[in-house]
Chains A and B, each alone.
Chain A
Amino acid sequence: MYQVTTLEMKSAAVRLGGRTIWRDASFRLEPATIAAVLGPNGSGKSTLLKAILGLVPLSEGSLQVLGRAPERGDRRVGYMAQSRFVDDLSSITGRDYVGLGFDGPRLGWRRDKHKGDVVHQALKLTGTLSFADQALRTLSGGQRQRIALAHATVFRPELLLLDEPLAGLDLAAQAEIVDLINLIRDTTRAAVVVVAHDLNPLAPVVDEVLWVARHQIRSGSVAEVVNERVLSELYGHPIEIIVTPRGRRVIVGLEEEFAHPHPHGHDHTNESGHEHFAELYEEETT
């Protein structure tokens, strides 16, 4: 089957409130690939997702999403927003929440008779059937993220955008979500863009890395981007990468990112519950 390139960005820039978030960004993403979006807080990772969703316009360059200009409400694109779910108090059930992914934008009384089946398929794909009828507030963080993935995949999108799906989860739950993302990619052949703080939990499944820092976006395979030469050039000072015996990467030299104020207010995340090692990594990269 012929498949168009899922995402193609050429020399793109986004300006918000008179300030350049990033510029000169070019990358391609093919179907059934997983791309991790990494970089410091406030560098414009969420903005990248919003540009793809058509919520934020490009100021320069071009962006093709599944062969078209980005369009708000495109059902071929699934989106899971940054994790407000972690401390969610919603009384509604997971099934109802996934149902909103199906017909939430629709006005009026009319009900689609396929809704039950479509929702059921999404719950099945994400392995959430057993707790889909419980209130969201009674679920664990990992269960909520699985429900959120069901919500985002209810139309079997060809492109899945996930903003910090691992935030606030312990390492075991992170690994489960990563497995599920991989399963969704394999089953639906969707391309997946995952914004993350930490490459390590995603490393086993990631095909591409988009590193957003200092108003630039570097893309390529993990080896092509997450190396000392590229990161040192990107940040403008020497970066060291230490690979642990288990293959995890610790990045040294980004400490001063801490001293920078956040350029805009929408990229904050508050992660907790990490084990010590992950925390160390996260501090070094953010």
Chain B
Amino acid sequence: MSLLQLLSTSFVQNAFYAVTAVSIAAGAVGYFVVLRRQAFAAHAIGHVGFAGAAGAVLLGLSPIVGLLVFCLGAGLLIGVGGATLDDRDAVVGVTLTAALGLGVLFISLYSGYANATYSILFGQILGVSVANVILVALLSFAVVVAVSLTYRPLLFVSVDAQSAESRGISVRAMSILFMSLLALTTVVAIQIVGVLLVFSLLVAPAAAAEVLTNRPWHAMALSMGLALFSAWLGLFLGVWLGGPVSFWITALASLAYLYARVRVALGSPSRASSRASSRA
């Protein structure tokens, strides 16, 4: 089959729609993950999702059901228990460990084909079903709408929780909301790159954007753009040259971050210069 024929197959097209939806959601939510320094929470939720998916497979359900239940559960736990910075890491760490333990148990009880586990860990975007594409698109759309509606208060509590609280914003409510959005985004990102590589869409593009610009809207747009770039090009390279798509996406997203750091380290004026032209 020629490259063109490959690209027009339904499984590649399904994958294209899925990565597009997920990249936009992950780019937006990822910006707040980086701003709030909650990469550890994002990491943990992904791994908790692994336990959920393994449990669902054990029960003969679709892995995405287990992912949704476990990721949302972990998100709520971390959101409620870790609203203040003091005990956040401990809450995240304990949640992570407890879930991974369950995951080990579920896998040991499961005697079936190990491929399910493999695709949860490393992603299996080219095998995504139409039903999953629709679910992923709907969830991503919901996340993007929620982020854009709550953008300002979310930014406010992320930057200065105490001042936000004094102005009538509930820091705890925002923490719970954000962790739920993060959980949903993690679930959809796992469909593409898997549990272990979830950072490639959720953290790397946003971290690169946060280094490159200091305007929140620009950073969010850039974060989405870099996620889309990595995902689209990664999908294309995977189809063209072979190799796992999640590898290509991860490599590209990491390179984007590396590029951002090098650019700033070499004294690009983008970070420190004044920009009177782009006033709020």
Contacts and interface: CB of A to CB of B under 8 A. Distances in A.
Contact of B214 (A79, A93, A109, A119): A93
Interface of B: 35, 37, 148-150, 152-153, 155-156, 159-160, 162-169, 210-211, 214-216, 219, 271-276, 278-280
Given A84-B162, A91-B210, 8 more contacts: A53-B166, A91-B35, A100-B152, A100-B164, A104-B155, A105-B164, A106-B153, A109-B148
Contacts of A186: none
A204 interface: no
**Which 8 pairs show the lowest CB-CB distances between chains A and B?**
A73-B168, A81-B162, A104-B156, A135-B214, A133-B274, A99-B280, A79-B166, A100-B156
A191 to B, nearest CB: 17
Contact of B215 (A73, A96, A108, A151): A96
A138 B264 CA distance: 13
Contact-residue bracket for chain A: 35 or more
Contacts of A120: 279
A135 B271 contact: yes
Contact of B167 (A105, A108, A132): A105
Nearest to B274: A133
A156 B209 CA distance: 34
A137 B159 CA distance: 12
Contacts of A73: 166-168
- The binding surface of chain B is classed by DSSP as helix
Given A96-B280, A131-B274, A106 B152 contact: yes
Contact of B160 (A53, A89, A97, A131): A97
A77 to B, nearest CB: 8
Contacts of A131: 274
A246 B149 CA distance: 56
A152 B167 CA distance: 10
Contact of A133 (B162, B163, B210, B276): B276
A82 interface: yes
Contact of B275 (A99, A101, A109, A133): A133
- The binding surface of chain A is classed by DSSP as mixed
A92 B216 contact: yes
A264 interface: no
Nearest to B156: A104
A117 to B, nearest CB: 10
A174 to B, nearest CB: 21
Contacts of A133: 273-276, 278-279
Contacts of A72: 166-168
A60 interface: no
Contacts of A91: 35, 210-211, 214, 219
A103 interface: yes
* Most A C-beta atoms less than 10 A away, residue of B156, B160, B271, B272: B160
B280 A82 contact: no
A62 B228 CA distance: 57
Interface in A64-117: 72-73, 79-82, 84, 89-93, 95-97, 99-101, 103-109, 115-116
B268 to A, nearest CB: 13
A129 B162 CA distance: 24
A107 B214 contact: no
A134 interface: yes
A107 B275 contact: no
22 contacts: A53-B166, A73-B168, A81-B162, A81-B163, A92-B215, A96-B214, A97-B159, A97-B160, A100-B156, A104-B156, A105-B153, A105-B156, A105-B168, A107-B153, A116-B279, A119-B280, A133-B278, A134-B214, A134-B273, A134-B274, A138-B271, A151-B163
A115 B279 CA distance: 10
Contact of B152 (A84, A104, A119): A104
B209 to A, nearest CB: 9
A55 interface: yes
Contacts of A82: 162
Contacts of B214: 91-93, 96, 134-135
B167 A104 contact: yes
A115 B164 CA distance: 18
